[in-house]
């Protein structure tokens, strides 16, 4: 976790105060979550060319449906495989493009055009078009905290898209509490609530021990209040949090 502001610590209560630098990871994103991100973040601006987007996974491929604004609103469907690019982006090949059940892609190519000429997308939203490819930058697609890392593989598994990150060897860590699912912060300055840890040594684990640990950064204080903590002889802090799903909805 790297501070984004000079002289300011990583702060749990401000997701823009840090970015997560990934050495190695495997992250799975549900198709329904990606649909929500596309509608609420990527194309949530005035005069966006695409609206009402639904992303589904079928037979190892992705299928995008929605409404395209070209003077009038027309339905569209894009289908194809996905992969990781050498630059660490996710690339979807628009192998099949339809609008109102008409094969748009073949018609475009007849006139020497491609998908990028049909749809103009704002470049700061994490999605852009090049030829017949849809290119997605995970670091810009997701809400804060920003992630920094290189995607080396992308594949469809069931109703999820699984991304593999590999940006170098991960540093060896030895958390004080042995468990399968945990979040461990070692080194640097870390702030949460009114507490500030210098040379941080904080491990967050599930109170229930269930797999996986259901943790939410925006809801961390509710989970913290419902749990308990223990100090170690080396001045580390182990926080046992209640799983978010066990707390029920927030009452505001």
* Number of other CB atoms surrounding residue 143 within 10 Å: 12
The alpha carbon of residue 50 and the mean position of all alpha carbons in its chain are separated, in whole angstroms, by 20
Give 131's pLDDT tier (boundaries 50, 70, 90). Answer: confident
For 102, the token pair is 């008409």
Instruction: Examine residue 194 and say whether the peptide bond preceding it is cis (omega within 30 degrees of 0).
Output: no
pLDDT of 244 over the 50 cut: yes
Q: Starting at the edge strand that comes first in sequence, how are the strands of the sheet with 2-3 ordered?
A: 2-3, 18-21, 146-148
Q: What is the pLDDT of residue 242?
A: 95
Q: Which residues contact 106 (CB under 8 A, 6 or more apart)?
A: none
Q: What is the pLDDT of residue 111?
A: 38
For residues 194 and 98, which has the higher predicted lDDT (pLDDT)?
Answer: 194
Is 203 in contact with 192 (CB distance < 8 Å)?
no
Environment class of 213 (CB within 10 Å of its CB; exposed 0-12, middle 13-18, buried 19+): buried
Is 116 in contact with 131 (CB distance < 8 Å)?
yes
pLDDT of 58 over the 60 cut: yes
Tell me how far apart the alpha carbons of residues 34 and 160 are, in angstroms, rounded to a whole number.
9
Of the given ranges (58-72, 112-126, 210-224), which has the lowest mean pLDDT? 112-126
pLDDT of 121 over the 80 cut: no
175-220 pLDDT tens trace: 999 998 899 999 999 999 999 999 999 999 999 888 889 999 999 9
If you average pLDDT over every residue of the chain, what do you get?
87
Predicted model pTM: 0.82
Tell me how far apart the alpha carbons of residues 6 and 83 are, in angstroms, rounded to a whole number.
36
Tell me how far apart the alpha carbons of residues 77 and 67 are, in angstroms, rounded to a whole number.
9
Q: What is the pLDDT of residue 32?
A: 95
Tell me how far apart the alpha carbons of residues 192 and 131 are, in angstroms, rounded to a whole number.
46
pLDDT of 12 over the 50 cut: yes
For 241, the token pair is 């949090």
138-183 pLDDT tens trace: 888 888 999 999 999 999 999 999 999 998 777 788 999 999 889 9
């Amino acid at each position: 976790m790297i501070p984004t502001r000079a002289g300011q610590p990583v702060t749990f209560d401000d997701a823009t105060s840090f970015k997560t630098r990934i050495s190695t990871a495997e992250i799975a994103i549900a198709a329904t979550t990606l649909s929500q991100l596309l509608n609420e973040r990527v194309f949530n601006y005035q005069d966006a060319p695409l609206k009402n987007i639904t992303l589904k996974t079928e037979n190892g491929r992705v299928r995008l449906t929605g409404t395209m604004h070209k003077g009038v609103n027309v339905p569209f469907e894009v289908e194809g495989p996905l992969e990781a690019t050498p630059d660490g982006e996710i690339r979807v090949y628009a192998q099949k493009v339809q609008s109102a059940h008409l094969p748009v892609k073949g018609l475009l190519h007849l006139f020497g055009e491609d998908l990028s000429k049909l749809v103009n997308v704002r470049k700061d939203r994490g999605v852009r078009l090049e030829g017949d490819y849809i290119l997605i930058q995970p670091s810009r697609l997701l809400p804060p905290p920003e992630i920094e890392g290189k995607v080396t593989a992308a594949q469809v598994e069931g109703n999820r898209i699984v991304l593999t990150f590999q940006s170098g060897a991960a540093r060896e860590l030895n958390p004080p509490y042995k468990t399968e699912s945990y979040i461990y912060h070692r080194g640097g300055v870390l702030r949460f609530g009114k507490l500030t840890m210098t040379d941080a040594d904080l491990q967050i684990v599930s109170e229930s021990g269930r797999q996986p640990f259901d943790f939410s950064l925006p809801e961390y204080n509710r989970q913290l209040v419902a749990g308990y903590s223990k100090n170690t002889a080396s001045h580390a802090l182990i926080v046992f949090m209640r799983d978010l799903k066990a707390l029920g909805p927030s009452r505001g």
